[in-house]
Amino acid sequence: MAGRRVVVFPSAAELGPVLASLVASRAEKAISSRGRFTLGLSGGSLVNILSKELPALPELDCSKWVVGFCDERLVSFDDPESTYGLYKSQLFSKVNIPDNAVLTIDSSLSVQDCAEDYTRKLKKAFPDDEFPVFDLLLLGMGPDGHTCSLFPDHPLLEENKKIVAPISDSPKPPPQRVTMTFPVVNAARCVSFVSTGGSKAQVLKEVLEGREGSVYPAARVAPTKGELFWLLDDPAAASLSIHVERPGSGETL
């Protein structure tokens, strides 16, 4: 792993533009190196941040982007719980990502078949990789320390063969979901967590400062060869005693 950077901002409002510039810079680097940019998205607060900040970037060109989802709820796309549905209405309508470059689940299938179908889509998009190697994955963390739909004490934490796994007993509704597994997350060239709000402070301390073998799934994210960022606001970072970065105005990552 190239090293973990914990970067703290006064508020989510200051964090947003830096996240957008991180996405844009990794996109530029990937397109110049490999001709495309592969991005994995998560839901939650990330939807609002990206939908506000990415379209505000000058001359943003998403025509060579390929977008997948780190996890997805097995609901119709017009359901407010659909991560793709939220991005479609709030972000994709404002930028020029080609429709066929957004890899979506087939929510009409059973959860098992949905995971297998999404696996096939990812394999087609990443034909040369045993596990898809995304240029950038954007992750959130729940107050219980879960990330993607990988929850504490769940058997899926040990899954190391599947690219996408079904989950039908999610402790957080809706219960049926599909999720990327840790081998995919940790194969990425860059992973960035975004975590804001005081409700995350104590869990964040344990994830970032705790012992190896932490019970928190987010603590298992450690890209084998890639970069790892934790972008936090002051309330989320309130309990940390480790060294953190505090970028000045206009700084990029």
219-246: per-residue pLDDT in tens? Answer: 999 999 999 999 999 999 999 999 999 9
Cβ within 8 Å of residue 75, ≥6 positions away: 81, 82, 107, 174
Domains, the chain, ranges and CATH? 12-137+144-192+210-228 (3.40.50.1360)
145-187: per-residue pLDDT in tens? Answer: 999 999 999 999 999 999 999 999 999 999 999 999 999 999 9
H or E segment and range at residue 51: helix 45-53
Checking if the pLDDT of 34 tops 80, the result is yes
Contact criterion met (CB below 8 Å) for 54 and 60 = yes
52-62: per-residue pLDDT in tens? Answer: 999 999 999 99
Report how far residue 18's alpha carbon sits from residue 59's, in angstroms, rounded to the nearest whole number: 16
Q: Give me the pLDDT at residue 250, please.
A: 72
Checking if the pLDDT of 249 tops 80, the result is no
Distance of CA 118 to the CA centre of its chain: 16
Q: Give me the pLDDT at residue 213, please.
A: 60
Phi, psi of 220 (to 5 degrees): -85, 0
C-alpha separations of 42 from 69, 71, 72, 84 in Å: 6, 7, 8, 9
Checking if the pLDDT of 251 tops 90, the result is no
Contact criterion met (CB below 8 Å) for 182 and 159 = yes
